Structure formats: structure tokens, C-alpha cells
Amino acid sequence: MSPIYVPGKVVFDNGQAPAAIAGVAPTLDYRFARDKREIETISLTDKLTFTGGNQGTFVGSDGFVQQATTNAPRFDHNPTTRESLGLLVEEARTNSFLYSQEIDVGNWRKFNITATANSGLAPDGTTTAELITTASTTALKYFDPNSQPVLQTSSDYCVSFFVKLISGTGLGANASINSANGTISPAYASYFLRLDNFAESTGGNLPSGRGYTIFPNGWVRMHMVFNTSTQTNASIDFRFGTNNTVSSFHVWGLQIEKGSFPTSYIPTTTATVTRAADVASINGTGVITGTYTMVEKPAGCAVVSGSNINLQTGFTTQRVMVFPAALSAGQITSIRSAM
């Protein structure tokens, strides 16, 4: 696959030529989702340059979490269907939890649970999953950071983690954020998910953003978003099981990051870790001159300077087309819907 437009070769999946909608043929066409394997094998230095990726991860075509290579593009996949989602372009994020895969260490306080290291196959295919076993004589069964992360005021934060039910029935996992003075939003936020039937909690103090993603081998990644308002020391804990029962779970990949949605997992040990921002730029020198329109699926693009264009961060880019003309909003909508 050549990213440079060849007359008569660029079509949408329905067979329609983009020129039929835009009135002009695209000069550049990157099909990241469909043609990712070919893109991975060619040099991207002619028209597309990529930097970033260090400390980042992505979901490979086998559904497992993989470690990224610095300055190498990440091609993400749906962990359940294995569908290619395109080129992953993320902003910089920091995981402020320490020992994100090691609940057994002293950095994590355990309440009526035990944590056993390297006791199962983790979402990345390694034997690094922590086994959490709960006690049977108490309702309170949880763990939390021995040193809670210091959070900035008036900011959104997203907590996420991978969890897998090992034994027990009707059991669930719960992430909770608490504030004694009631200045997070809400003052007490909790998101509970039953892992045997994926029934989510309803009512009560639910966080503004919450959800889960199913991974291979029974793993689920849960996430919840809250706002700190004026509170900088919210207390975060993770609860498992039901009252007066014994249950066991595998846990892996705990993360808290500043932002209103979860991003790819960032492993940590003794210190917080920052994933550098991804920058994917199209060099339009000699290709883009004068008026042009860039159409990206999903929506979003930004002109940086001259004829260099950065792809929008925050999602997986499935396809990008550059047209050597000013297109109307209706034309852009029609092109994007046909991509």
C-alpha cells in the first residue's frame, strides 16, 4: 500500500471514489486500520513521522497488552474482537500509583485480604498477576496505597485497573474515592461491577465517567472518573467480594492519571512514570500547497505550521485523507461517514 494517491485506486469500502463527493481526488490517503500491517513494514519517513510511545502500551492483534517501542507507531486493537482500530495517538499521561503490578509489596496496605505475587497470567501474557484472597468474617475487604497520590485541585482524574474473578459467585470489584471534607465530586464516589454477569452498580454516588472493557482470558479493565474540586488528598481504595464470604481475584495494572478518560496502561515500580505524548505528523512538502482540507476518522486534526499537520491526539486514527481544495462541512461529513 502506498500512502500517496494513485488515480483510480483510492476508494471507500462501498466502492465509491472520494472525488465523487469532494469534487477533487485526495492527495494523501493513510488507511491505518485496514492496511496497518503494510504500514508497519514500510518507512514512514517520507510523508509521516512519528515520535513518542516510550513507557506506553497497546493492545496487539492477539488481544494482549504489549509494551511499546520508543518512537515506533502503536497500532491498537479491540481486545475482544481483535479488530484493528488504527494508529494510537495519545497525549502525555502520568501513572501516579507506585508498584502498579505488585499489590503484595508494602506500598499497598491490605485490609482483610492477602496478596500473592506472580500467581496468574496477566493481560500482557506474563505471569505477573497478583492473587487477591479475601477473608470470610468481615464486610471490609480492600487495599489502598500506603502513600495516597497527591492530586491537583479542580482537575479530572481517571482510576483504572484490570481484574479477573477466580473463585466465588455473584462477586464484584469496586473502586472507591473518598473525601472527608466533601470537596471531590461527588464527595464519595464508587463504581461496582459484578464480574459473573457484568451487572454495573446503579444509584448512589456514581462517578461522572465509568465503564469497563473485556479482555481475553476473563480479564476486565474497569475505570472511573472523578473531579477533585478543591481536595488534593482524596483517599482511593479497591474493594472486592461480598460480605462474609471467601473469594479470590487476580488484579493487575492499577493506574491513576489526570484526565477525563482512561488511556493505555503505564507500568510503574518505585516511582511514578510518565508516558510521552505521541506526535504523528504528515509532511506535506511538495504535496500540500495552497488551500487544502484534511479529513480524519474519527474527527479531528490540527495545522501546526506551514504544510506540516499533526494528527489529533486522544484516540486511534483509522484513516486520514488530504484534499487539495476547501471542502464544505457537508462534504467533510459525507467523506467521514464513508471512510
Asked if residue 179 lies in contact with residue 194, where contact means CB atoms within 8 angstroms, the answer is no
Out of 140-154, 212-226, 230-244, pick the least confident.
230-244
Asked if residue 92 lies in contact with residue 275, where contact means CB atoms within 8 angstroms, the answer is yes
The answer, yes or no, to whether residue 16 has pLDDT greater than 50, is yes
Average pLDDT for residues 251-256, to the nearest whole number?
A: 97
Out of 97-106, 189-198, 305-314, pick the least confident.
305-314
The answer, yes or no, to whether residue 232 has pLDDT greater than 80, is no
What is the SS3 assignment for 42? coil
In the chain the domains, ranked by start, together with CATH numbers, are: 18-56+277-338 (no CATH), 93-275 (2.60.120.260)
**pTM, 2 dp:** 0.88
Closest CA to 106 of 146, 69, 64: 146
Which is more confident, 291 or 69? 69
Give the model confidence (pLDDT) of 24-58 as tens digits: 888 778 888 876 644 544 444 456 778 887 888 99
Alpha-carbon dihedral of residues 62, 67, 69, 73, nearest 10 degrees? 50
Asked if residue 175 lies in contact with residue 224, where contact means CB atoms within 8 angstroms, the answer is yes
> What pLDDT sits at residue 259?
94
The residue count of the chain comes to 339
Name the residue with cell 464484584: 172
H/E stretch holding 222 reads: strand 220-227
Question: How many other CB atoms are found less than 10 A from the CB of residue 303?
Answer: 13
Out of 23-32, 146-155, 183-192, 195-204, pick the least confident.
183-192
Out of 179-188, 202-211, 285-294, 317-326, pick the least confident.
179-188
- CB neighbour burial string for 89-100, b if at least 16 within 10 angstroms, e if fewer: bbebbbbbbbbb
> What pLDDT sits at residue 205?
79
The answer, yes or no, to whether residue 186 has pLDDT greater than 70, is no
Asked if residue 41 lies in contact with residue 1, where contact means CB atoms within 8 angstroms, the answer is no
Distance CA 307, CA 329 (A): 21
Closest CA to 312 of 19, 88, 120: 88
Average pLDDT of the chain is 83
Q: Is the peptide bond before 216 cis (omega within 30 degrees of 0)?
A: no
